[in-house]
Structure 1
Amino acid sequence: MAEIDTRTLDATGATLSYDIRPGEPTTAPLLLVGSPMDATGFTTLASHFTDRTVVTYDPRGVARSPRTDGAAETTPAEHADDLRRVIEALGTGPVDVFASSGGAVNALELVARHGDLVRTLVAHEPPVVGVLPDREPALAACVDVRETYLREGMGPAMAKFIVLTSRKGEVPADWADEPAPSPAAFGLPAEDDGSRDDALLGQNMRTCTGYVPDFEALRAAPARVVVAVGVESEGELAHRAGVEVAAALGSEPAVFPSHHGGFLGGEYGQQGAPTEFAKALREVLEG
């Protein structure tokens, strides 16, 4: 693989770091987007696209992209503007985008606002809880996760997050009355270290899940939008949201191999089916 070219640029309230893996210049660059996952999460997936330029970045408030405004939360609109800046800094014209989880939420906002910057967006399992039939209890559960984080710290909040996002089926109205899961059951610390700067639980939890895409703008955009879901994650919150987003855009979701992190090849200790995932992604991009 070619040597990675790491660059930075200034954005409103943050300094952004992004990486360029040079490839064939006749093909549009492929931008891989996560949130709050940083560029390292796409190491394996990027290795399957050495024939084209691949760009990854660290979202604001994560890893090498520090916030400079001290804000406690980040909105999809801010993330979308960051993505706009990165794409424009490349100077290559429209790019293809694979975006997963919270990154897919931000990329949907990018296309709604700046559709001319994107050729094809593959939005993989965007957790836009506001489009679900059970939106009210699901959104309340997301808020509860964040409030648990602010009150008790990372371990108890992350345990709730794992239970919520891996639940099959609708979120019950009595979510808050269910016994709180033990952090130890997930190998998480129960003690509170006092920090409150976690990008997932603090900065993005409420704003990401509470986002509702501008479907009219997405349908009118020049970019092609393909929503993807994992075959193994059927019934889970992000999968269900992806199905609803696809329906609102008048399409069926593309079903990708593996689960919510199906592109991972050991990053963060998680294993998907990256070879099969990359093949499916390439087929969709070549459309």
Structure 2
Amino acid sequence: MSTTHILDIPGGRLSYHVRGSGPLLLLVGAPMNAAFFAPLAEELAGEYTVVTHDPRGVSGSTLDDPGQDSTPALRAEDALALIDALGAESADVVGSSGGAVTGLALVARHPTRVRTLVAHEPPLLELLPDVAERRAEVDDIIETFRREGPGAAFGKFMATAGYEPGEDDSPPPPSESPEQDLADATHFFLHELRGTTRHVPDVAALKAGPARVVVGIGAESSGLLTARTSKALADLLGAPTVEFPGEHGGFVDHPKEFADVLREVLAR
């Protein structure tokens, strides 16, 4: 069972959900909304106060200016605002995909407010040796969205991520509405994708602070681009990697098993 709340942030409002009791645990995605994390949150609510939210500009988290770009730095400040709103000194944070990039920015900017960050498959393309090619792919995906719409853009996005045609192990929760789907897709392609994938983590800050950073990689993600970026991050940080069930969306398809691994990581 969860309770839903609205938090005012500069230029907008965040919709967030609270489950359970115990130490504060934030589950953070981007562009995924809170619904993607609901099964995992239910698994963990017996031991933690689990908070999920719609990232800024997505689903129930509205912006005064829908054209404002969503940067990792802005999303990190949103996560900090959630920690403050729950009255906590610090929190454990689990970020997946763009949410992992959010978590890295949060730790770099506010290192004392995070106990452990599990960065699950952050798409940090700037860490790869073929970054110029990867940047060009992102630019092409965005232009495809402008020309042809979300269907064609998502097709290219999945292909560059490493999925075979028609392959996707993390189908989204039921749609709120076609209009909301289009708004969320527009936000992702035009205002989030480039800034997230071009984020360069502050390695010195991440290594210097008290927060522990653990890099998560899916057991079935070996062919995905995010496995490469995750390994590159772990190498730079000298941080451990932990294998989680499934692929990039393992927390959706295997919430119980994902939670089991997560409990072990957070208990160390």
TM-score by length of 1: 0.83
- 2:268 counterpart of 1:284: no
Pairing of 1:17-96 with structure 2 (within 5 A): 17-24=15-22, 28-49=23-44, 50-96=46-92
Contact 1:143–1:205 (CA under 8 A) maintained in structure 2: no
* TM-fit CA distance, 1:71: 2.3
- Partner of 1:140 in structure 2? 136
The code of the aligned residue for 2:10 comes to T
Look up the SS of the partner of 2:67 in the other structure. Answer: coil
Contact 1:246–1:252 (CA under 8 A) maintained in structure 2: yes
1:93 and 1:21 map into 2 onto residues whose CA distance is 18
Pair 1:167–1:40, CA change in 2 (3 A)? closer
Look up the SS of the partner of 1:123 in the other structure. Answer: strand
Alignment coverage as a number of residue pairs: 252
Q: Deviations over 1:179-199 (max 9, x none)?
A: xx89xxxxxxxxxx9x66523
The code of the aligned residue for 1:278 comes to A
Structure 1: runs of 5+ lacking an equivalent = 169-180, 183-192, 265-271
Query: For the pair shown, which has the larger CA radius of gyration, 1 or 2?
Result: 1
Look up the SS of the partner of 2:246 in the other structure. Answer: coil
Look up the SS of the partner of 1:140 in the other structure. Answer: helix
- Partner of 2:207 in structure 1? 219
- Partner of 2:11 in structure 1? 13
- 2:197 counterpart of 1:209: yes
Look up the SS of the partner of 2:80 in the other structure. Answer: helix
Pairing of 1:239-254 with structure 2 (within 5 A): 239-254=227-242
Look up the SS of the partner of 1:98 in the other structure. Answer: strand
Look up the SS of the partner of 1:47 in the other structure. Answer: helix
The code of the aligned residue for 1:283 comes to E
TM-score by length of 2: 0.89
- Partner of 1:98 in structure 2? 94
- Partner of 2:174 in structure 1? none
1:150 and 1:72 map into 2 onto residues whose CA distance is 17
Q: Deviations over 1:54-97 (max 9, x none)?
A: 11111011111011123242111111111111111111211111
Pairing of 1:222-233 with structure 2 (within 5 A): 222-233=210-221
- Partner of 1:160 in structure 2? 156
Look up the SS of the partner of 2:217 in the other structure. Answer: strand
- Of 97-106 and 249-258, the range deviating more from structure 2: 249-258
Q: Deviations over 1:224-273 (max 9, x none)?
A: 11011011011311111011011110123111111100011xxxxxxx22
Task: Identify the match of residue 263 of structure 1 among 237, 245, 251.
Answer: 251
1:37 and 1:167 map into 2 onto residues whose CA distance is 18
Structure 2: runs of 5+ lacking an equivalent = 167-178
2:133 and 2:203 map into 1 onto residues whose CA distance is 23
Could you list the runs of 4 or more consecutive aligned residues of structure 1 that deviate by over 4 angstroms after TM superposition? none
- Of 273-282 and 59-68, the range deviating more from structure 2: 273-282
2:234 and 2:223 map into 1 onto residues whose CA distance is 15
Q: Deviations over 1:141-195 (max 9, x none)?
A: 0111111112221111111001111259xxxxxxxxxxxx89xxxxxxxxxx9x6
Look up the SS of the partner of 1:60 in the other structure. Answer: coil
The code of the aligned residue for 1:232 comes to E
